[in-house]
Structure 1
Amino acid sequence: MDLSRRSELQEIMDDPALPRAEYERCLHDLAAVNRVTLTHRPTLRWLERATRGLPADRAVSILDVACGGGDLLRAIHRWAARRGRTVRLEGIDLNPRSAAAAAARTPAGWDIRWRTGDVFDHMPDPAPDFIVTSQFTHHLADADIVRFLRWLERHATKGWLIVDLHRAAFAYRGFGLLATVARWHPIVRSDGMISVARGFRRAEWERLLAEAEVRGEIAWQLGFRWSVSRLK
Structure 2
Amino acid sequence: MILPPLDARDRDARERMDDPACDEAALRRTYAAFRVVNAVVAGWRTTYATLLRPLLRDGSATTLLDVGSGGGDLARALAGWAARDGHELQVTGIDPDPRAHAWATSRPARPGVTFRRATTGDLVAEGARFDLVVSNHVLHHLDDRELAAVLDHSRRLAGRRVVHSDIRRSRTAYLLFSVGTLPFFPGSFIRADGLVSIRRSYTVDELGAAAPPGWEARPQAPWRTLLVHDVGV
TM-score between the two structures when normalised by the length of structure 1: 0.89
Q: Name 2:101's counterpart in structure 1.
A: 99
Aligned CA distance change for structure 1 residues 138 and 42 (closer, same or farther; 3 Å): farther
Q: Name 1:11's counterpart in structure 2.
A: 15
Does 1:49 pair with 2:51? no
1:141-195 Cα distance to aligned partner (Å, 9 max, x none): 1332122222121111111101001111111121111110334445210100000
TM-score between the two structures when normalised by the length of structure 2: 0.89
Contact 1:42 1:227 in 2 (8 A): no
Measure the CA separation in 1 of the matches of 2:67 and 2:32: 19
Which ranges of structure 2 fall in alignment gaps of 5 or more residues?
none
Identity %: 29
Please tell me the residue identity of whatever aligns with 2:53: E
Measure the CA separation in 1 of the matches of 2:74 and 2:194: 17
1:2 to 1, 5, 11: 5
Contact 1:43 1:132 in 2 (8 A): no
Contact 1:159 1:231 in 2 (8 A): yes
Q: Name 2:221's counterpart in structure 1.
A: 222
Q: CA RMSD in A?
A: 1.8
Please tell me the residue identity of whatever aligns with 1:112: V
Tell me by how many angstroms 1:130 deviates: 0.7
2:206 to 182, 190, 204: 204
SS in 2 for 1:205: helix
Q: How does 1:73-222 map to 2 (within 5 A)?
A: 73-107=75-109, 110-123=111-124, 125-209=127-211, 212=212, 214-222=213-221
Aligned CA distance change for structure 1 residues 102 and 151 (closer, same or farther; 3 Å): same
* Aligned residue-pair number: 225
Aligned CA distance change for structure 1 residues 184 and 224 (closer, same or farther; 3 Å): farther
Which ranges of structure 1 fall in alignment gaps of 5 or more residues?
none
Measure the CA separation in 1 of the matches of 2:143 and 2:42: 26
Please tell me the residue identity of whatever aligns with 1:25: R
Q: Name 1:26's counterpart in structure 2.
A: 30
Moved more, 31-40 or 71-80: 31-40
Contact 1:167 1:199 in 2 (8 A): yes
Tell me by how many angstroms 1:38 deviates: 4.6
Measure the CA separation in 2 of the matches of 1:142 and 1:174: 28
Please tell me the residue identity of whatever aligns with 1:167: R
Measure the CA separation in 1 of the matches of 2:118 and 2:101: 10
Measure the CA separation in 1 of the matches of 2:185 and 2:156: 42
Contact 1:80 1:87 in 2 (8 A): yes
Aligned CA distance change for structure 1 residues 66 and 179 (closer, same or farther; 3 Å): same
Measure the CA separation in 1 of the matches of 2:128 and 2:154: 14
Contact 2:53 2:82 in 1 (8 A): no
Measure the CA separation in 2 of the matches of 1:150 and 1:23: 30
